[in-house]
Amino acid sequence: MKFELTKELLEQIKHQIEMRNAKFIIDEIGSLHPADIADIVEHLDLNEAKYLFDNLEEEKAADTLVELDDDYKDKLLETLSAKEIAEHIDQLDTDDAADILGNLSEDEKDETIAQMQDKEHASEVIDLLKYDEDSAGGLMQTEFIKARESWTVKRCVIELRRQAEDVEKVYSIYVVDDEDVLLGILSLKRLLFARPDALIKDLYRSENIKYVKTYDSKDEVAEIMKKYDLVSIPVVDRQQKLVGRITIDDIVDVIQEEAEKDYQLASGITENVEATTSVLKNAKSRLPWILIGILGGILSSLILTNYEDQIAINPVLAFFIPLITATGGNVGVQSSAIVVQSLANHDFNPGGIFKRIFKEMLVGIIIGITCGALVFGYNYLLNDGDMLMGIIIGTAIFVVVIIAAIFGTLVPLLLDKIKIDPALATGPFVTTSNDILGLTIYFFIAYLMSA
Amino acid sequence: MKFELTKELLEQIKHQIEMRNAKFIIDEIGSLHPADIADIVEHLDLNEAKYLFDNLEEEKAADTLVELDDDYKDKLLETLSAKEIAEHIDQLDTDDAADILGNLSEDEKDETIAQMQDKEHASEVIDLLKYDEDSAGGLMQTEFIKARESWTVKRCVIELRRQAEDVEKVYSIYVVDDEDVLLGILSLKRLLFARPDALIKDLYRSENIKYVKTYDSKDEVAEIMKKYDLVSIPVVDRQQKLVGRITIDDIVDVIQEEAEKDYQLASGITENVEATTSVLKNAKSRLPWILIGILGGILSSLILTNYEDQIAINPVLAFFIPLITATGGNVGVQSSAIVVQSLANHDFNPGGIFKRIFKEMLVGIIIGITCGALVFGYNYLLNDGDMLMGIIIGTAIFVVVIIAAIFGTLVPLLLDKIKIDPALATGPFVTTSNDILGLTIYFFIAYLMSA
């Protein structure tokens, strides 16, 4: 029952497309879930994909288009006429339709909208286009089911049957007043088990209902749905009028994207690089971070220039440069990561910024003493009891660890304050700064102690 | 409508608890969502929390217990008697009950089960305890709604009404045969709009239905629910018998945990460290990675020992140690991160491992040439046209980048092959190895060129 795209299956499909075997596509591929068909399409070239799409049922084709990854979708859309795109969009839920329109140029957008058959659908989609795509308005769909307080259960079921034609998945019914202001929520389960003559106003829940406003950010929507385990949430405008709903599948995507973005920032990749991304694009999205690292390396070399004589006299000092930079970098990234995660989880922090830094300093002291003692011991044994080098490096490690812990805590907090994604702090930026900081401390201590 | 725990509110609550104001707790806190009450509880000391719990309604108290973070929950459970825990568990869904029992010692578990009032519920919970907590069986609940093919809609609604008492959220009805073998799925929407005398067998969907087996991993469950946008999925045993269901809220938690785990591995934290974690536990969970880094640093220093004479003659060589290690580390982590993400997303890779490495080598060449040229140019300008140092460092960077890219690609692939979480590769382990690798290459090239 689980679909798996094997090499053999892919070759067979490519062969059948080459043979122009429309029956194979309708029977064998048309019966699959759109997400599975999208998996297949992403491994076809554009001509093959186009033939496949032309032979799928209209609704299946449109749903498959939505499931494609963004790169492939854009390429495929470029090969389609405004009329063909409009035919797909006519089949889609408003949120998916708006997403596809949003990717087109202004001219293409106008032309496609003009070609849409279902004018009411078109105007709803146009309404959605005005919202920021990172807001609740940008995520919501206008397909939902609403009922009035005064209805009986029987009337409600009749009315809902008509509304439900357009709504693929129904989880809850939103109860509104005559001005469409959201009053409460009625679960489908409750409606199903109620007597036909019962009144909606006696059944629905109006207390503690969770909703979002069109201008709330998608992160806020995700947070609420996650916290309260919701599968759908109503969206209201500034006058509390019900204008849409957001379902959990879209929020799962938001959560996944956010997590991947943090991970990528921490790994120093600016854009979404996948295994299938071209070599040039891959290199281009990675170079900025590498160049920041190079710049940091050059700065480090300039700092070291000041200690040229010391290194010439005592080359052993140079041996421990990697130890200092690596340890500072590791501690700093750990500290930043903890802050980034607690910011992402909105951990309530009664003590504020100073308490957090003080705590991090204590952690730094514990780690610093352990590492410092270890490195001192190693040097002491290696140099047959000559303590100076051990003291220099042990002290340097101790200080570098504490400074790195504090610095790693501060940077993401500051980035967050000035509205930059704090996850940036766990990337090459902090490691590079820590290298420079660490070396400066190390050679300054060496200078003081050797003098 | 959005609940926010402010410092003032927290102080007020603490004050009312101190005053032993039970009415305040019932009226002001008892009306909140369990997730919000859990937020409050996590900021109370254990005595305060216990007083609050004692004054909440039984069901609300139990639901709040489930929402607490693991650290706090464990501490609170330690203060409760087996009888008190049993009272909470009696109120909970089977999956939540099993999670709490799973955290107790064997003795406490037996004692608690003996104290449970609802014996049928108790035996269902005991059944769940036998599954691996990372499997579908460990995630599922035994509360679900099932119907027989032969029923009419009318009979189905009557039967469901009885079943639904135990089931908090109903999304779909699972249709089974007389042996409880899963036949298909009927949406609540479809049932609601059907004629009362229609037969279930004419309404339900049996093709392409998605289900999981009890022994499937939670990652597989998450993947399927994410891919097919499901809000719940039935779980069957080895004989295809329906034994439970998993709802999307639990899967959202799985997705979130997985993402956080990857991020933590990449940042070198072994356990879940939060802003509220104690200083000692924080330090303890971070030290292992730091010590690996220290070990790597000591290894680096041993390698450099071989080049002591060279450094003494030409200290400039030492100046570029941080540049070499940082660049190698950055490129390696990027390469690993791309592999880790494509493994996590199950990107189909027709070319296999060699094609991927070849591609990564090409990316490495582009980045390597750019960085090498830049560093050469910088040295050339700095040293008034003396090219040797520039050539040494430029060449070293070029080679280090390519090796780091290949190494960074290989490590997560190998880890994955031997069933270790590949995200480990983006942590301090690869950076440390890259430091050693980079320095060896750098000084070897310097040795060759200076000779």
Judged by phi (left if over 0) then psi (alpha if -120 to 50, else beta), residue B255 lies in alpha
How many angstroms away from the CA of A323 is the closest CA of chain B? 4
CB contact under 8 A, B192 and A370: no
Task: Considering only CA atoms, give the Rg of chain B.
Answer: 30
DSSP annotation of A425? G
Distance between CA B164 and CA B157 in Å, rounded?
10
Separation CA A311–CA A130 (nearest Å): 63
Say if A263 falls within a structural domain: no
**Min distance A239 CA to chain B CA atoms (Å):** 15
Question: For residue A282, which residues of chain B lie inside 8 Å, CB to CB?
Answer: 338, 359, 363
* B286-345 per-position pLDDT tens digit: 888 889 889 999 999 999 998 888 888 888 889 999 999 999 988 998 888 888 888 877
A286/B334 CB distance under 8 A? yes
- In whole angstroms, what is the distance from residue A311 CA to residue A200 CA? 84
Q: Nearest residue of A to residue B361 by CA position?
A: A279
CB distance B300–A279 less than 8 Å?
Answer: no
Cα separation, A66 vs A103, in Å, equals: 12
pLDDT of residue A35: 93
Which chain A residues have a beta carbon less than 8 Å from that of B14?
A: none
- Per the domain annotation, does A314 fall within a domain? yes
CA distance A329 to A319: 17
Which residue in chain B is spatially nearest to A160 when comparing CA positions? B193
Q: Which helix (H) or strand (E) holds A184?
A: strand A182-187
A226 and A166 co-located in one domain: yes
Task: Please indicate, yes or no, whether residues A296 and A443 belong to a single structural domain of this protein.
Answer: yes
Using the 3D structure, point to which of A130, A160, A183 is the last residue of a domain. Answer: A130
Q: Which two tokens stand for residue B443?
A: 């000084």
pLDDT at B20 over 90: yes
Q: Is B9 on the interface with A (CB under 8 A)?
A: no
Does any domain span residue A264?
no
Whether pLDDT at B395 is above 80: yes
For residue B272, is it within any domain? no
User: B351, B349, B449: which is closest to B399 by C-alpha?
Assistant: B449
Do A312 and A372 fall within a single domain? yes
The DSSP bridge pattern shows strands B172-176 and A212-213 to be: unpaired
Q: Which of B155, B301, B357, B389 to mutate to test the interface with A (most CBs of A within 10 A)?
A: B301
Angstroms from A121 CA to nearest CA on chain B: 22
Shortest Cα–Cα distance, B311 to chain A (Å): 6
State yes or no: pLDDT of B96 exceeds 90. Answer: yes
Would you tell me which residues 313-372 of chain B have a C-beta closer than 8 angstroms to some C-beta of chain A? 315-316, 318-327, 329-331, 333-334, 336-342, 345, 347-350, 356, 359, 362-363, 366-367, 370-371
CATH of residue B103: 1.25.60.10
Domain match, A234 and A368 both? no
Q: Which residues of A touch B145 (CB under 8 A)?
A: none
Query: What is the pLDDT at residue A249?
Result: 93
Instruction: Please report residues of A whose CB lies closer than 8 A to that of B155.
Output: none
Contacts of A329 in chain B (CB under 8 A): 329, 431
Q: Which residue in the set B160, B224, B322 is minimally distant from A325, CB to CB?
A: B322
Copy the structure tokens of residue A99.
Answer: 């997403």
Q: How far is B12 from B254, CA to CA, in rounded Å?
A: 35
Q: What is the DSSP letter of A422?
A: G
Q: Which residues of B touch A337 (CB under 8 A)?
A: 263-264, 266-269
Amino acid in position A130? K
Question: Does the structure show a pLDDT above 80 at B347?
Answer: no
ipTM of the complex: 0.83
B77 to chain A, minimum CA–CA distance in Å?
A: 22
Residues A293 and A439 placed together within one structural domain of the fold: yes
Last residue of a domain, one of A102, A130, A158: A130
- Residuewise pLDDT in 10s, chain A (451 residues): 567 888 889 999 999 999 999 999 998 899 899 999 999 999 999 999 999 999 999 999 999 999 998 888 999 999 999 999 999 999 999 999 999 998 888 889 999 999 998 888 999 999 999 999 899 999 999 989 899 999 999 999 888 888 877 777 888 899 999 999 999 999 888 888 888 899 999 999 988 899 999 999 999 999 999 999 999 999 999 999 999 999 999 999 999 888 888 888 878 776 666 666 788 888 888 888 889 889 999 999 999 998 888 888 888 889 999 999 999 988 998 888 888 888 877 765 556 778 888 888 999 999 999 999 999 999 888 877 678 888 999 999 999 999 999 999 998 888 888 888 887 777 777 788 888 999 999 999 988 887 6
Structure confidence at residue A416 (pLDDT): 87
Residue B358 sits at φ, ψ, to 5 deg, of: -60, -45
Inspect the interface and report whether the beta carbons of A338 and B276 lie closer than 8 Å: no
Residues B24, B84 share a domain? yes
Position B271 scores a pLDDT of 63
Q: How far apart are CA B64 and CA A264, in angstroms?
A: 35
Both B110 and B161 in one domain: the answer is no
Question: Which run of H or E residues covers position A246?
Answer: strand A242-247
Sign of CA dihedral A222, A227, A232, A237: negative
State how far the Cα of A58 lies from the Cα of A56, in Å rounded to an integer.
Answer: 6
A371/chain B closest Cα distance in angstroms: 7
**Residue B348 dihedral angles phi and psi, to the nearest 5°:** -70, 135
Minimum CA–CA partner of B5 in chain A: A348
Pick from B290, B322, B363: CB nearest A435: B322
Please indicate, yes or no, whether residues A306 and A428 belong to a single structural domain of this protein: yes
- Please report residues of B whose CB lies closer than 8 A to that of A213: none
Inter-chain CB pairs, A–B, below 8 Å: 354
Which chain B residues have a beta carbon less than 8 Å from that of A392? none
Listed by number, the residues of chain A in 59-98 with a beta carbon closer than 8 Å to a beta carbon of chain B are none
> A241 in helix, strand or coil?
strand
Residue-by-residue DSSP string for A22-61: HHHIIIIITTS-HHHHHHHHTTS-HHHHHHHHHHS-HHHH
CATH number at residue A231: 3.10.580.10
| Inside any domain, residue B293 | yes
Give the torsion through C-alpha atoms of A103, A106, A111, A115, to 10 deg.
50
CATH code assigned at B339: 1.10.357.20
- Cβ separation of B188 and A169 shorter than 8 Å? no
Closest chain A residue to the Cα of B427, Cα to Cα? A330
| Radius of gyration in angstroms for the set of CA atoms belonging to chain A, rounded to a whole number | 30
CA A411 to chain centre: 21
Residue from the list A326, A341, A426 with its beta carbon closest to the beta carbon of B435: A326
Cβ distance A338 to B274 less than 8 Å, yes or no, reads: yes
Taking CA–CA distances from A328, the nearest residue in chain B reads: B290
Please tell me which residue, B137 or A263, carries the higher pLDDT value.
B137
Task: Tell which residue, B91, B137, B130, has the closest CA to residue B246.
Answer: B137
Nearest CA in chain B to A296: B323
Is the Cβ–Cβ distance between B332 and B405 less than 8 Å?
yes
Instruction: For residues A123 and A178, state if they share a domain.
Output: no
The answer as to whether B274 is a domain residue is: no
For residue B365, the number of C-alpha atoms closer than 13 Å in the C-beta half-sphere is: 8
Shortest CA distance from A64: residue in chain B: B228
One domain, residues A366 and A223: no
| B7 contacts on A by Cβ (under 8 Å) | 350
Q: Please give the pLDDT value at position A169.
A: 81
Q: Does the predicted TM-score (pTM) go above 0.95?
A: no
B282–A431 C-beta distance less than 8 A: no
Write out residues 400-439 of A within 8 Å (CB-CB) of B.
401, 426, 428, 431-432, 435, 439
CA distance to partner chain B, nearest, from residue A259 (Å)? 6
Domain boundaries, position A155: 146-248
**Residue A184: strand pairing partners:** A175
d(CA B33, CA B42): 15
Classify residue B319: in a domain, yes or no. Answer: yes
In this prediction, residue A159 carries a pLDDT of 86
Kindly report the three-state secondary structure assignment for every residue of chain B: CCCCCCHHHHHHHHHHHHCCCHHHHHHHHCCCCHHHHHHHHCCCCHHHHHHHHHHCCHHHHHHHHHHCCHHHHHHHHHCCCHHHHHHHHHHCCHHHHHHHHHCCCHHHHHHHHHHCCCHHHHHHHHHHHCCCCCEHHHHCECCCCEEECCCEHHHHHHHHHHHHCCCCCCCEEEEECCCCEEEEEEEHHHHHCCCCCCEHHHCCECCCCCCEECCCEHHHHHHHHHHCCCCEEEEECCCCEEEEEEEHHHHHHHHHHHHHHHHHHHHCCCCCCCCCCCHHHHHHHHHHHHHHHHHHHHHHHHHHHCCHHHHHHCCHHHHCHHHHHHHHHHHHHHHHHHHHHHHHCCCCCCCHHHHHHHHHHHHHHHHHHHHHHHHHHHHHHHCCCCHHHHHHHHHHHHHHHHHHHHHHHHHHHHHHHCCCCHHHHHCHHHHHHHHHHHHHHHHHHHHHHHC
Q: How many domains is chain A built from?
A: 3
**Single residue among B249, B267, B296 that ends a domain in this structure:** B249
Percent of chain B with pLDDT over 70: 96
Token couple for B96: 């939540």
Farthest-apart Cα atoms in chain B, separation:
97
The pLDDT assigned to A451 comes to 65
Residue given tokens 């924080």 in the structure block: B282
CA A276 to CA A68: how far, in whole Å? 14
Do B349 and B315 lie in one domain? The reply is yes
What band does B259 get if pLDDT is binned at 50, 70 and 90? confident
Cβ contacts of A315 on chain B, cutoff 8 Å: 308, 311-312, 315, 318
Kind of pairing between the strands at B242-247 and B232-236 = antiparallel
Q: How far apart are CA B267 and CA B270, in angstroms?
A: 9
The pair of three-digit structure tokens given for residue B327, joined into one six-digit string: 């660049």
| Among B141, B153, B157, B192, the residue to mutate for chain A (most A Cβ within 10 A) | B192
> Do A71 and A152 have their domain in common?
no
Handedness of CA B310, B315, B319, B320 (dihedral sign): negative
The answer to whether A204 touches A183, Cβ cutoff 8 Å, is yes
Whether B263 is covered by a domain: the verdict is no
Interface of B with A in 432-451 (CB under 8 A): 432, 435, 439
